[in-house]
Chains A and B, each alone.
Chain A
Amino acid sequence: MPIEPCAEAPSVGSAERLELFRLVLLQRLFEDRVMALYRQGRVPGSVYTGRGQEAVAAGAGLALGPDDVVAPLNRELACHFARGATTADVFRNFFGKATSPTFGRDGNMHFGAPERGVFPLVSMLGDLVPLVTGAALAFKRRGQRRVALTFLGEGAFSVGDTHEGLNLAAVWQVPVVFVIQANRYSYSTPVARQMVNTNIAQRIYGGWSIPAERVDGTDALAVFDTVRAAVERARNGNGPQAVEALSVRMDGHAAHDDSRYVPAGMREEFAERFDPVDRLAARLSLDGLDTETIDELRAAAAAEIATGLAEAEQAPVPDPETIEHGVYAAPPFG
């Protein structure tokens, strides 16, 4: 079956289309590179990718305004790039370097840039739902036209924190957007074993009265358009919003996971028709972008990754003497 191009999406401008392509490419090529480094034994810990979900990360990341805040998970590398992270920042975090966003204290996708409005990932599912709701509460208290956004997967809908956060967001009517990464698996557990009603948008609207819509999570233009509209509704005082983005996780949960639990053929078929990077490339071709330009964009992304990698490899490793530094912002005994 041939690749399905992204839907036409005339409301998405040409600069935005190119930026979305840059973002999904960066995520795809970065993750390919870091996975190769991991297989070579050059990355401690593990590697988590968002292969198949890049359109959600890029679309939602680009939908935010400059003063908005976001708490990404580990499938949303493109969102970090949209918010200003460099490839060197991310490599440094994977390598555990002293100058990584977490000073070598956390690894892989567990990083943020709190001062730039990106909260560092917390592994426990659901924790970020009340957290971004509280950030949005601060915006509402201050009368600021800012929006907070987080991502959550199907697994998070089995966690009480998610319910509490959605409920608080609805009761308080704060400017927050929840983007659901519906990728069909929570680690190895298929969605049907997480919940009975797998229509999460319906549950969010029916259960918490938060407006929610479904979008094709492999179509970067559609995700961007839909999340942008949700962000603007939230910004304009219409309370919390949700978008359920449907996709497939094309890799295992992490590098060690060969995802033997996924039915044979499912991912191949998905890759053939719905790979989000190829879908957007196909749309850009239909838009009239020539193959040469598309190849140049790929080469530019690859070069950005190579430069970041070289920079990160030169970065200093952390000094064990500093482990106890920074436990407190104000240490009680100096």
Chain B
Amino acid sequence: MSTGHLEAPSAPAGATPAGEITYLEAIRAALQDAMREDDRVFLLGEDIGVFGGAFGVTAGLLDEFGEARVMDTPISEEGFVGAAIGAAWMGERPVVELQFADFITCAFDPIVTVAAKTHWRSGQAIPITIRCPTGGGVRGGPFHAGSPEGWFVGTAGLKIVCPGTVSDAYGLLRAAIEDPDPVLYFEHKRLYRTLRAAQPSPEHRTPIGPAAIARAGTDATVVTYGSGVTTALAAAERVDADVEIVDLRTIWPLDEETILASVEKTSRVLVLQEASRSTGAAGAILSLLARRSFEHLDAPPALHAPPDTPVPFAPELEDAYMPSAASTLAALDRLLAY
């Protein structure tokens, strides 16, 4: 695949305070710590060695771990994901970097056909982690800014995680690498250098499955994940109500009970995602709400998500396409006024 020369947005000027790291550095630290602790862990992907990856996530890891554990691959997502599955069968813990999440289409077959079904039909676990730099807001256009996680939601045998915080970027990646099942790890490009927080300890894990309450509230629930967490938090600060935010963290399988408990408390719910409206996790969440929250709701469940198009390139178009704090605030106002 062609590699764009995309720069993830940087945080406002100023050094990261001591003891803090960025979301990107948390991902790198998780890889580094996992590799130091377990020699079965190795990395493979395009341009991840000398070049350090298209976004610099693996910068420096070649120097520490060498070519046998930081493997530059030919440009062949289907091939090296398939090979990672074979290595996992032999007991290794491969971590694949897809250069952009969009390129996962090339690897759909080994992920869905092979990795997802193998344990169920044979008892053989396939412990692979596939890192997918995802999302828009980086002027990447139709092939470098998508949020393709929705194609995998509902696929038995896969686990899909989408960290929305520095802590979860570290904790979910450590958990994914240690997990015996195939895990798709969607790391958001726009968060790489804009989120920073205290450096997690090497023992920190975010369990795969449970959602978190990113903000407690009583008047409405926002169910979201990935970049939506930051967006929802910003909107919640400005809305004239007490909003609860459910950060799913794992979008498949869904933590149904946490969603249902929050909605039972607030009676109003907005599903927020960056994936186009008919993809992502929204369909699964709205289906759950229709089936099991109907009697608790004071308003129809709302959805705030981009239109059903690829991600557009022009700044005017992409900015309109992406959910922002302002547009999420407007969606919350409509929900609360119902």
Contact = CB atoms under 8 A, between A and B. Distances in A.
B201 interface: no
B76 to A, nearest CB: 4
Contacts of B122: 101-102, 111-112, 114, 120
Contacts of A102: 121-122
B305 to A, nearest CB: 24
A263 interface: no
A122 to B, nearest CB: 5
Interface of A: 69, 101-103, 105-106, 110-112, 114-115, 119-120, 122, 124, 127, 129-139, 141, 148, 160-161, 164-165, 167-168, 171, 326-330, 332-333
A114 B180 CA distance: 15
Nearest to B42: A141
Given A138-B92, A326-B120, A332-B253, A130 B83 contact: yes
Contacts of B250: 332
B85 interface: yes
Given A131-B86, A134-B86, 5 more contacts: A130-B83, A131-B89, A134-B89, A141-B92, A332-B250
Interface string B82-98: 11111111111010000
A326 B119 contact: yes
B161 to A, nearest CB: 10
A-B interface, 6 closest residue pairs, ranked by CB to CB distance from nearest: A134-B86, A164-B79, A130-B82, A332-B209, A134-B83, A114-B124
B83 A131 contact: yes
A161 B121 contact: no
A314 B101 CA distance: 49
A332 B123 CA distance: 17
Nearest to B178: A330
A103 B121 contact: yes
Size class of B's contact patch?
35 or more
Nearest to B91: A138
26 contacts: A105-B120, A114-B89, A114-B118, A115-B123, A120-B118, A124-B109, A127-B109, A127-B114, A130-B78, A130-B83, A131-B114, A134-B85, A134-B87, A135-B87, A137-B87, A139-B90, A141-B42, A141-B68, A161-B82, A164-B76, A164-B82, A171-B74, A326-B119, A326-B123, A332-B207, A333-B253
B110 interface: yes
Nearest to A119: B89
A326 B116 CA distance: 11
Interface string B149-176: 0000000110100000000000000000
Contact of B121 (A106, A141, A164): A106
Contacts of B47: none
A249 B84 CA distance: 33
B103 interface: no
A140 B121 CA distance: 28
Given A114-B89, A161-B109, A171-B74, A327 B157 contact: yes
A189 B73 CA distance: 34
B331 interface: no
Nearest to B82: A130
A173 B110 CA distance: 22
A130 B79 contact: yes
Contacts of B89: 69, 114, 119, 131, 134-135
